[in-house]
Structure formats: C-alpha cells, structure tokens
C-alpha cells in the first residue's frame, strides 16, 4: 500500500511539473497588427496582405515566443489591445489610430510598444507633435518631409540588435525622408538619396527635400521611451518588397524589439516567400487584378529622374 501511495504522490508531482512547464512554454508575447482599408491600385498599399504576411512569419518561427494577430482597422473591442506588448499600425495616414488617440496614448504610457509603417507615419502636425514624437520618435511632417520613389541601399545599424542577421537591402519604394525626429531617435536603417538613385518626385516635394541630396536618411528608426519602445518605417508602399528576405527580416526584428523582446543573434527566422504567398489576402481592386510578381533585379534598372527645385516642382505641368 505504501508503495502505491508513494507512486501516486510521485505521479501527482510529475504531472504538476509538466503542467507548469507546459503553461510556461505556451506563454507568448502578444503582437497586434491593425491594418487599414483598401487603398491605391493592385500591389500598392496592401495593408491587409502585408500585415497578415508579417504576422504569419512571426507565428511560424520558434526562436522568439510571440503570438501575432491581425485586426481590420481600429478594434471594436478595445480590450483586445490591453494585453498586447506591441501594436503595429499599417494604414493610410491616421485612418486607424484616429479612432483611439486616448487609448493608444494610455497604452504607450504603460509601456506598450508601437510601430507605424509607411503612410501611417503621416499625421497632421498637431497630432505628430503630441503623439507620434513621444510614441515612435518621428513623423512625416507636412511641408517638410517628402515622398519620392527611389532606390534605397539600406544600411542597418550594426550597433543595434535590430540589425541581427540582416544583409544587403537594395530596392525601390516610396521611401519617405526628411522625417521630423525626436532628439532621442535611434536610426535603425539608413540610406542616402541622390540624383543617381531617384526614380521620380511625386506630389510632396519641399525645399528641405531638394536640399537633402547626398545626406543620410533614417528610413527605419526607433525610440527607447521611459516605458516601452517605438519605431517608424517609411517603406511598405510596394507589396512585392515583403518578399525580399533582408527587407522583411529587418522589419520583423524591429517588431520583436518594439515588443520588448531580445532579437536573436541571427535575427528573427523567416522563410522564403513564394509568389503564391505574396498574392494571399490581397484587397480586391478591380475585376481582373494583375498577379503580383516576386521582386526582380531588373526592376532596379531605371533612368534616374531629375532632382528638381521646389519651384520647378510647383511649375510642372503648367502651360508656358
């Protein structure tokens, strides 16, 4: 009888240890992607598909214990954000966050990480100064920042863990620059615009943009707040760029860092994106949208556009 009693006691102890171990192993850091509505033509501003692709890659790896979920727009039930370690917003300007300014501000003051991507870094100046500077350390400032398409040769900050495992990144995108930064901004990915890598100037061009030629620009940046971390990324216009391994890894590393975790020495593991995966979860944009192709080195071959003055930009298209 004593042997049986001891056996049962031992079994209970072992089961308890197993339960505790399993519970600990299953505890993951929550990351929430809030993506914007349909925008632009096929293959551009694919906020839904881009968020789902990044979340999928975070959930597929085991090196960092995270659980990523995606939500369309601002959540109807805001409590879904209460236990998040990081909130990633990928949208047109403030179309998502404008529904929860106070909620987001309260979360950041508690230490929740925030990362804004592409057009989401562009608020009105008042909101940029009040919220974006303290949240993420920078924002696209009207009448100052610019949004040309250009071929950026992005250099990760080798002194920061977000660079772990990241190699060469060279691609064309609508990389905003001349961002208004906080003094404590940390450059995480830097490239230098020039008249040799400018594809074209678009709708927003300033004196500061004209004067920025050959000056390094932080296209990806971060901030270490008193509580929590923040980051901004100006790329993400062309959806096909998410299939570039180093481009994607640098952003995944930054998301993990923003969530308050350590980036593995080789970076966040990420597998090769196929063309089929690149075309998953796209917004419906027309009856017969073109299939998005994987990045092709030939796309980097172009005739540089002119680096024009602000006056030349304003006079374009006007009849002489």
pLDDT tens digit sequence for 235-258: 999 999 999 999 999 999 999 999
3-state secondary structure of 87: strand
**Tokens 């993951």 -> residue:** 28
Amino acid 15: pLDDT: 52
Report DSSP state, residue 128: I
CATH architecture assignment, domain 29-282+293-315: 3-Layer(aba) Sandwich (3.40)
- Residue 303, CA distances (Å) to 146, 198, 241, 306, 313 in order: 20, 9, 20, 10, 19
- pLDDT of 288 reads 87
**Tell me: the pLDDT tens digits for 248-293?**
999 999 999 999 999 999 999 999 999 999 999 999 998 888 899 9
Q: How many CB atoms lie within 10 A of CB 209?
A: 24
Domain boundaries, the chain: 29-282+293-315
Residue 162 pLDDT greater than 50, yes or no: yes
Residue 5 clears pLDDT 70, i.e. is over it = no
pLDDT for 317: 63
The answer on pLDDT for 2 being more than 70 is: no
Q: What pairing do the DSSP bridges indicate for beta strands 86-90 and 29-35? A: parallel
- pLDDT tens digits, residue range 71-128? 999 999 999 999 999 999 999 999 999 999 999 999 999 999 999 999 999 999 999 9
> What is the predicted pLDDT for the residue at 222?
98
Confidence (pLDDT) at 289:
82
What was the pLDDT predicted at 319? 54
Q: Is 236 helix (H, G, I), strand (E, B) or coil?
A: coil
- Closest CA relative to residue 233, chosen from 30, 242, 99, 59: 242
Instruction: Report, as an integer, the average pLDDT of 205-209.
Output: 97
For 148, residues 6+ apart whose C-beta sits below 8 A from its C-beta are 174, 175, 193, 198, 199, 200, 201, 202, 205, 209, 305
Entry pTM: 0.91
- Residue 181's DSSP bridge partners are 138
What is the pLDDT of the chain when averaged over all its residues? 93
CA distances to 28, 142, 179 from 184, in Å: 29, 21, 14
Q: What is the mean pLDDT of residues 201-224?
A: 97
Residue 311 has pLDDT above 70, yes or no: yes
The pLDDT value recorded for residue 9 is 55
pLDDT over 50 (residue 22): no
What lies within 8 Å, CB to CB, of 262 at 6+ separation is 161, 256
- Asked if residue 12 has pLDDT above 50, the reply is no
Note the pLDDT of residue 3. 45
Q: Is the pLDDT of residue 17 over 90?
A: no
* Per-residue model confidence (pLDDT) at position 318: 67
Q: What's the confidence (pLDDT) of residue 14?
A: 52
Q: Which residue has the tokens 């090196």?
A: 63
pLDDT at residue number 27? 87
């Amino acid at each position: 009888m004593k042997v049986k009693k001891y056996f049962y006691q031992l079994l209970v102890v072992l089961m308890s240890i197993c339960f505790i171990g399993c519970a600990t192993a299953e505890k993951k850091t929550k990351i929430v992607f809030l993506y914007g509505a349909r925008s632009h033509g096929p293959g551009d501003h694919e906020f839904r598909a881009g968020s789902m692709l990044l979340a999928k890659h975070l959930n597929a790896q085991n090196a960092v214990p995270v659980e990523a979920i995606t939500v369309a727009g601002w959540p109807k039930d805001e409590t879904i954000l209460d236990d998040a370690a990081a909130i990633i917003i990928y949208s047109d300007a403030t179309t998502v966050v404008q529904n929860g300014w106070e909620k987001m501000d309260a979360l950041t003051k508690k230490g929740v990480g925030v990362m804004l991507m592409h057009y989401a870094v562009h608020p009105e100046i008042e909101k940029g100064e009040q919220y974006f500077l303290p949240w993420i350390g920078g924002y696209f400032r009207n009448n100052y920042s610019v949004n040309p398409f250009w071929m950026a040769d992005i250099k990760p900050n080798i002194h920061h863990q977000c660079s772990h495992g990241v190699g060469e990144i060279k691609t064309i995108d609508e990389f905003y620059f001349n961002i208004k930064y906080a003094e404590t901004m940390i450059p995480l990915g830097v490239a230098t615009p020039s008249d040799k890598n400018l594809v074209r100037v678009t709708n927003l061009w300033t004196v500061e943009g004209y004067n920025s030629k050959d000056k390094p620009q932080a296209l990806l940046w971060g901030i270490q707040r008193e509580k929590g971390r923040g980051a901004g990324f100006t790329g993400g216009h062309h959806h096909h760029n998410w299939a570039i391994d180093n481009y994607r890894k640098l952003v995944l590393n930054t998301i993990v860092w923003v969530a308050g975790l350590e980036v593995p020495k080789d970076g966040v593991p990420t597998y090769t994106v196929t063309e089929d995966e690149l075309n998953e979860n796209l917004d419906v944009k027309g009856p017969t949208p073109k299939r998005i192709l994987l990045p092709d080195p030939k796309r980097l071959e172009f005739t540089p556009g002119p680096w024009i003055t602000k006056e030349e930009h304003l006079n374009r298209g006007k009849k002489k």
